[in-house]
Amino acid sequence: MRMEHAAYLGPGALIESEDPAVIAFAREQAGDGDDITRAVRLYHAVRDQILYDPYLPLGRRESYSAKVALVSGRGWCVSKAALLTACCRAVGIPARPGYADVVNHLATEKLIENMGSDIFAWHSYAEIWLDGAWVKATPAFNSSLCDKFGLKPLEFDGRADSLFHEFDRAGNRHMEYIRDRGHFSDVPIDQILETFRGLYKSVFLGIEGDFQAEAGAPSSV
């Protein structure tokens, strides 16, 4: 391990890799094998066992927590990427959260209406140190949700970057990355909150909704 990776192995305030529940989950899901094999298993566990829920209150710190996502079984891109990062660290694999602004063409009408935009700032993924390189992994959308949206679940092989598909199965545009916000050793909550207060005032305290159910009704946006 390189010395500069030390910051990406220890716990953070919101990447709670030292939490007993996170450690137990990570060890159980990772199993034995090399780092790539274990990281891929962790990716699938976080992707599919933690349901995607963008209606969490964005103004509350717990909505950004890896541990809370695990315990509740629900999270959004930020907390699910934090959880994957925490799980990797818990089994000795360097990892860090990365962020970008994206345009999401397949968000539900209700979500876009409440947010006031189809631009999702601070979309998050995990960067994992595997075989001598940082590899991106995006565990946000669980497989059952992808099926409802007509998307192929995003796979991760531990060697190539795994970011959102640009198009869905029908050829409709899905997601565009429009701004890279870089990577961090912990969730940069103060920066994220500052952005969200300006962009998403109507959803800052959370809105009622069931995104898993809404996904069955395609957006007309």
pLDDT in tens, 17-61: 999 999 999 999 999 999 999 999 999 999 999 999 988 888 899
Q: Could you tell me which residues come within 8 angstroms of residue 97 by beta carbon, excluding any fewer than 6 positions away? A: 15, 78, 81, 82, 85, 124, 125, 126, 127, 183, 184, 186, 187
The CATH number assigned to the domain holding 15 equals 3.10.620.30
pLDDT at 153: 87
Whether 116 is covered by a domain: the verdict is: yes
Structural domain for 159, as ranges: 3-206
State the average pLDDT over residues 117-125: 89
Whether 42 is covered by a domain: the verdict is: yes
Cβ proximity of 221 and 112 under 8 Å:
yes
pLDDT in tens, 73-98: 999 999 999 999 999 999 999 999 99
pTM of this structure: 0.87
Whether 7 is covered by a domain: the verdict is: yes
- Of the listed ranges 18-27, 106-115, 200-209, the least confidently predicted one is 200-209
Whether 215 is covered by a domain: the verdict is: no
Q: Report how many domains make up the chain.
A: 1
Q: Where are the alpha helices (DSSP H) in 8-105?
A: 20-30, 35-49, 66-72, 77-90
Whether 211 is covered by a domain: the verdict is: no
